[in-house]
Amino acid sequence: MSHQPHDSAGEHEALLSSQRTSRPTVESQHSYSSFRDVTQPELSSSVASLPSVSSVSSDNASISKLRGWGIVASLGLLIFLQASNISLLTTTQGVIAEDLDAFEEASWFTSAYLVATASVAPVSGKLSYIVTPRICMFVSTIFLSLGGLITGFAPSLAVFLLGRVVSGVGAAGVLSVAIILVIQLSPPKKRGLYTGILNTGFTIGVAFGAVAAGALQPLIGWRALFWVQTPLSMLAGAGLMLSIPPTLSANSTTKDQQQAPMLQRLAKVDYLGALLLVLSTVSLLLGLSTPKISWVPIITSILVLFPLFLAQEIYHHPDPIIPITVLQSRGALLSNLSTLGFMMSRWSVLFYTPIFASAVRGWSPATAGSILVPTNFGFAIGGLASGGIHIRRAGSWYVACLVIYALFPVTIFALGLSANKDTSTWIIIACTFCNGAVAGAALNYVLHHVLHLVVPEVRFIVTSLLATFRGFAGTFGSAIGGGIFVRVLRSHLETGFYEHGVGNKDLIRRLLGSPRAVQELSGVEKDVAVEAYTAAIQTLFFAGTGLSILMLFVQAGTGWKGPVTEEELEGSLTEEEEPYSDNV
């Protein structure tokens, strides 16, 4: 790949002279970057207005130790609540489905929460720039608190799902603004450490949320598990409101813009783009997550809503929700896509290993939830070890990414083979631990590699997009994985009961929504149910294996060569016949 030569040696000398006295501009870096393939000659005004990562943290005043501990404690509590809301349904969905008579709709208990979280996350991140992270976080805690109340006192399935959606909207703001706060308030040398701690807090919430829910549900009931989050969320929100300095801003605007009236700043939000993004995501997930794939909403999303969203972002709004020009970089685009598919496979492990433990192995709800402890412990170990021992420099991590991406499908395939009633428990624990360790390391390597692939001026927005795609992965993993799981489970239940002349539609309906119902059966009915759950779990894990292998090739497409340096630029421009060529 090579760029066209300049017309004369005089132009070469003039450009060289300008480069000796100043750093290359964002535009020139894009022109000579080998792996970013940006089709437009310069960044859009929305991206160009964003600061570099270093400027974000340096422009904000330092905070006292008291405020710092207040932020850490409050943010840690919110991250735990946000993450536990994802996993607590794995050990309580059976009793909730029975209470609300919603066995066939049980997969939507988690999907409704994650759809809202992933759809609103880009909007929440954008609002934190327009207002302040402090206000955006407090509003998010209000939504999280209100969602807990609605869910805890829901008299019907519709109200329950409404509460889950409201909670998801709040959780989107918590996660998005938490990442922004870490980047803003941490010094550059410790930013990776604090990011790892944030990820560790999230995985602790996922692990112990399921365990705590399984242990507490028989004692206090499932409703209390939700409404008790309301006072905790408000307490954490108040703590952040008091701890975060009112002057702390995201620095994406000038001082004159920051001092503009609130309504004037809110008027600049791309609401139509946000709405189209939400509608396209929800429509796609609705079609994929139903027991039988619905093609109408899928086609509507892909061919109508998403193209309208792209048109709105590219042509009709000066400050889009997602700067499309950033995704025109091959390295950034493929890194986000590989993370999406990779984490979809990872979420299938997080969602369905407790269900496997309950339905196939016969573990109690609390014990079934504890199967997430080794995999999330491995996740924390993998992330901290890769960051603390190996990733100690800036630069390309291309080979490390490919090695770790190649190991990940091996762990899922091994978990699929061991997902039966006869395999030793220790083998299952070892498989889940290895899966978590590889996943934790992979996210660390991909993050540092994509930062190498892009210019510093856009690293902040690329990092935010990477977090957004991780959020999408949970949604897609729950919806698509849930659809695969339910379809295979239903098929095997219907076939097995028909062949043995047992069971009925009501029993099948109950088994689809309550894994613990398997252990209430006996004889042939229990054997059929266990075999059906085993087949569904294994099919899901083997599908995750195939997806992970595909993501290995996607990640390979990101390349390893980052933006050209000043020295490389000067050296390339001295070659008159070919000012720049790509040797890769």
- The confidence band for 19, taking pLDDT boundaries of 50, 70 and 90, is very low
Res 516: pLDDT:
82
> Domain ends where: 269, 285, 303?
269
- Provide the token pair at 478: 């729950």
Nearest to 514 by CA among 27, 169, 97: 97
312, 272 Cβ separation under 8 angstroms: yes
Mean pLDDT of 126-155: 86
Amino acid at 107: S
- Provide the token pair at 457: 């001026």
Instruction: Flag whether pLDDT at 540 surpasses 90.
Output: yes
Res 195: pLDDT:
67
Region of poorest pLDDT, from 85-94, 299-308, 492-501, 529-538: 85-94
Mean pLDDT of 393-411: 89
In terms of C-beta density within 10 A (0-12 exposed, 13-18 middle, 19 or more buried), how is residue 1 classed? exposed
How many Å apart are CA 84 and CA 204, to the nearest integer? Answer: 8
More confidently predicted of 22 and 131: 131
How many Å apart are CA 190 and CA 183, to the nearest integer? Answer: 10
Res 34: pLDDT:
35
Do residue 290 and residue 342 come from a single domain?
Answer: no
Mean pLDDT of 139-147: 92
313-317 long-range CB contacts below 8 Å, 24 or more apart?
313/270, 313/273, 316/272, 317/270, 317/272, 317/273
More confidently predicted of 371 and 15: 371
- Provide the token pair at 12: 């070469």
125, 176 Cβ separation under 8 angstroms: yes
Instruction: Flag whether pLDDT at 185 surpasses 60.
Output: yes
Query: How many C-beta atoms surround the C-beta of residue 17 within 10 A?
Result: 9
More confidently predicted of 131 and 347: 347
Flag whether 5 is in a domain.
no
| C-alpha distances out from residue 354 to 174, 283, 372, Å | 26, 28, 7
Owning domain of residue 444: 329-563
Flag whether 345 is in a domain.
yes
Region of poorest pLDDT, from 114-123, 251-260, 535-544, 568-577: 568-577
Flag whether 417 is in a domain.
yes
Do residue 222 and residue 335 come from a single domain?
Answer: no
Do residue 292 and residue 228 come from a single domain?
Answer: no
Flag whether 572 is in a domain.
no
Do residue 506 and residue 456 come from a single domain?
Answer: yes
How many Å apart are CA 97 and CA 510, to the nearest integer? Answer: 9
Region of poorest pLDDT, from 6-10, 83-87, 254-258, 309-313: 6-10
How many Å apart are CA 478 and CA 8, to the nearest integer? Answer: 58
Do residue 403 and residue 295 come from a single domain?
Answer: no
Flag whether 447 is in a domain.
yes
Res 493: pLDDT:
87
Flag whether 12 is in a domain.
no
Q: Express each pLDDT in 509-525 by its tens digit.
A: 888 877 888 888 888 88
Do residue 217 and residue 346 come from a single domain?
Answer: no
| C-alpha distances out from residue 211 to 92, 227, 365, 434, Å | 10, 18, 8, 20
167, 89 Cβ separation under 8 angstroms: no
Contacts of 534 (CB under 8 A, 6+ apart): 356, 360, 419, 420, 421
How many Å apart are CA 109 and CA 26, to the nearest integer? Answer: 45
- The confidence band for 183, taking pLDDT boundaries of 50, 70 and 90, is low
Do residue 392 and residue 508 come from a single domain?
Answer: yes
Q: Express each pLDDT in 239-286 by its tens digit.
A: 888 888 776 665 544 455 555 666 776 777 778 887 888 788 778 777
Flag whether 36 is in a domain.
no
- Provide the token pair at 78: 């919110």
> What total number of domains does the chain contain?
3
Instruction: Flag whether pLDDT at 162 surpasses 90.
Output: yes
Q: Mean pLDDT over all residues of the chain? A: 76
Nearest to 327 by CA among 558, 119, 28: 558
Do residue 298 and residue 420 come from a single domain?
Answer: no
More confidently predicted of 24 and 312: 312
Do residue 257 and residue 394 come from a single domain?
Answer: no
- If you write DSSP's letter for every residue of 23-59 in order, what string do you get? PPPHHHHHHH-SS---SSSS--HHHHTSPPHHHHHHH
Do residue 248 and residue 278 come from a single domain?
Answer: no
Flag whether 65 is in a domain.
yes
Do residue 425 and residue 521 come from a single domain?
Answer: yes
Mean pLDDT of 414-440: 91
Do residue 264 and residue 341 come from a single domain?
Answer: no
Q: Express each pLDDT in 458-504 by its tens digit.
A: 666 677 677 778 767 877 777 788 888 888 988 888 888 888 777 67
CATH number at residue 427: 1.20.1250.20
